[in-house]
Amino acid sequence: MKTAQSLCYVCDDKGRTMAVQVPLDIWRQIEPLARSVLCGKPAVAETPEPIQAFDEFLQHWDFRYPYSPAVVCPVCNASTQDWRMGDVRPFRLVNANFGGLLVFRCKQCDTTIRQKHFRDHVALEHSVHG
């Protein structure tokens, strides 16, 4: 666990603290609470990712192309080769169904990314929030 020594205080020319920088791994932990304060919205506990629905999707996979776990945000260019891997994942699965719909939320800019898997191709859509 990082300590307060991990924080970087940004001061003006008179030594007054103007901002605080936190390491990215700490930011990822406090981001939901910070966003609720910054955006004036109450903090909402995130629901668990629908992994069981995603597993059902993979079990029914019989399309003409291999499944790719890569996700790219068209707004902030965050990307990953596999959204399921890593301690700090840039995307969160928010919806899945065995009919081919996978919906992700970009943790960096809050964009919603939809992957619509059809028999021969994937259609990508996104929505910007905020």
Upper half-sphere CA count for residue 68 (Cβ side, 13 Å): 15
Residue 58's pLDDT band (boundaries 50, 70, 90)?
very high
Longest pairwise C-alpha distance within the chain: 65
Contact yes or no for 103/96 (Cβ under 8 A)? yes
Domain ranges across the chain: 4-39, 51-127
Please enumerate in sequence order all residues whose Cβ is within 8 A of that of 25, keeping only pairs 6 or more positions apart, or say none: 2, 87, 88
Query: What amino acid occupies position 41?
Result: K
DSSP string, 2-16: --GGG-EEEE-TTS-
Contact yes or no for 127/112 (Cβ under 8 A)? yes
CA distance 100 to 85: 21
pLDDT, tens only, 24-54: 888 777 877 777 777 776 655 678 999 999 9
Which residue shows structure tokens 């919806």? Answer: 95
Q: Which helix (H) or strand (E) holds 51?
A: helix 51-59
pLDDT, tens only, 71-126: 999 999 999 999 999 888 999 999 999 889 999 999 999 999 999 999 999 999 99
